[in-house]
């Protein structure tokens, strides 16, 4: 179990999970319904199964690439800890459990689930043919807030869509930063990424621009919350301020000639930002 949790980087669930929970509670408050804890549990299971399928498939598909990269050679499949066939079975099982779980939520989620599954799985192929792979990853995680809103509310709405687009630009931006570590290696194998296409300096500039777009969407979503709901405005505005501040902070950590703090920028800063924003917005809605 420890090896499989490491294979799918279970701790990285913190990136999208707060946004999924935000979408769930947003629908509950907006539609003035009692919290359905069965649906809440199913949403959590969908997050776990979908992310497990996506990460395990990425590790399975990249096993030969990871085996050549000094940074990733210690991963479970190239290191021989988990067999490729076992990882593939894990992907199939997680995918089926995701589809089955959506069936018990509502018909809309079930009908859309194959599309969502396709998006999160196809990402693993994209760096082989397009430098826009970071945006596909962002699109996959951006399904969390709108998907959870659909699960709880059964309909689309502007505010969760704003959060979804914010997640898209946020994830694409920090994934570009993470990809800086493998620029030279990716070039040697003909793999595609923004750093390969634009170079480190321009890639960081694009990442900053994407995070500016993300910040604008988060601020606008907070404004919409203020005018639509009777909430303790200062809590979700505080969460917005902290999130935007941490977005800016990670760009002070990483320089084109100094990538020593990429992991701090990628995981620590973004994980804290997501957790704080989700917690404070949900608390505001709850109160």
Span 125-145, mean pLDDT? Answer: 96
pLDDT at 9 over 80: no
Cβ-in-10-Å burial (0-12, 13-18, 19+) of 44 comes to middle
pLDDT (tens digit per residue) in 13-54: 778 899 999 999 999 988 877 889 999 999 999 999 999 999
Q: What is the pLDDT of residues 151-194, one digit of tens each?
A: 999 999 999 999 999 999 999 999 999 999 999 999 999 999 99
Give the pLDDT of residue 231: 62
Distances from the Cα of 20 to the Cα of 7, 27, 143, 187, 250, angstroms: 22, 11, 8, 35, 23
Q: 89 pLDDT exceeds 70?
A: yes
Q: What is the pTM of this model?
A: 0.94
Backbone angles phi, psi at 139, to 5 degrees: -65, -40
User: What's the mean per-residue pLDDT of the chain?
Assistant: 93
Q: Looking at the predicted structure, is the pLDDT value of residue 122 above 90?
A: yes
Residue 195 sits at the vertex; the CA angle it makes with 91 and 136, to the nearest 5 degrees, is 35
pLDDT of residue 15: 84
Q: Into which CATH architecture does domain 2-286 fall? A: Orthogonal Bundle (1.10)
Nearest to 152 by CA among 118, 108, 115, 100: 108
Q: What is the pLDDT of residue 256?
A: 86
CB atoms within 10 A of CB 55: 22
Calculate mean pLDDT across residues 100-117: 97
Please tell me the predicted confidence (pLDDT) of residue 232.
63
CA distance 66 to 62: 6
Q: At what angle do helices 17-30 and 158-179 cross, to 10 degrees?
A: 170
Task: Kindly report, residue by residue over 207-245, the tens digit of the pLDDT.
Answer: 999 999 999 999 999 999 988 876 667 899 999 999 999
> What Å distances lie between residue 252 and 165, 166, 181, 187, 245, CA to CA?
24, 21, 16, 26, 11
- Alpha helices by DSSP H, listed for the chain, are 2-7, 17-30, 37-61, 63-68, 84-103, 107-126, 133-153, 158-179, 183-189, 194-198, 200-228, 233-253, 262-263, 270-286
């Amino acid at each position: 179990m420890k090896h499989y949790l490491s294979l799918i980087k279970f701790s990285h669930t913190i990136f999208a999970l707060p946004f999924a929970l935000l979408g769930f509670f947003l629908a509950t408050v907006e539609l003035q319904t009692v919290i359905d804890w069965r649906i809440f549990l199913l949403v959590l299971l969908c997050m776990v199964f979908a992310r497990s399928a996506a990460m395990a498939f990425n590790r399975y598909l990249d096993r030969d690439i990871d085996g050549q990269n000094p940074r990733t050679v210690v991963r479970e499949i190239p290191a021989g800890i988990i067999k490729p066939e076992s990882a593939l079975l894990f992907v199939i099982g997680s995918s089926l459990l995701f589809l089955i779980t959506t069936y018990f939520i509502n018909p809309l989620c079930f009908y859309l689930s194959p599309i969502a599954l396709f998006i999160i799985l196809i990402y693993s192929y994209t760096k082989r043919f397009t430098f826009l792979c970071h945006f596909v990853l962002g699109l996959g995680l951006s399904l969390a807030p709108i998907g959870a809103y659909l699960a709880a509310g059964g309909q689309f709405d502007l505010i969760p869509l704003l959060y979804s687009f914010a997640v898209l630009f946020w994830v694409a931006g920090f994934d570009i930063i993470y990809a800086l570590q493998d620029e030279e290696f990716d070039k040697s194998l003909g793999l595609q990424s923004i750093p390969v296409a634009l170079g480190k300096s321009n890639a960081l500039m694009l990442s900053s621009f994407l995070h500016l777009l993300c910040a604008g969407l988060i601020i606008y979503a907070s404004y919409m919350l203020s005018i639509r709901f009777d909430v303790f405005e200062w809590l979700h505005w505080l969460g917005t301020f902290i999130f935007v501040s941490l977005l800016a902070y990670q760009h002070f950590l990483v320089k084109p000639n100094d990538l020593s703090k990429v992991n701090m920028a990628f995981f620590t800063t973004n994980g804290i930002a997501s957790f704080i924003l989700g917690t404070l917005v949900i608390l505001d809605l709850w109160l």
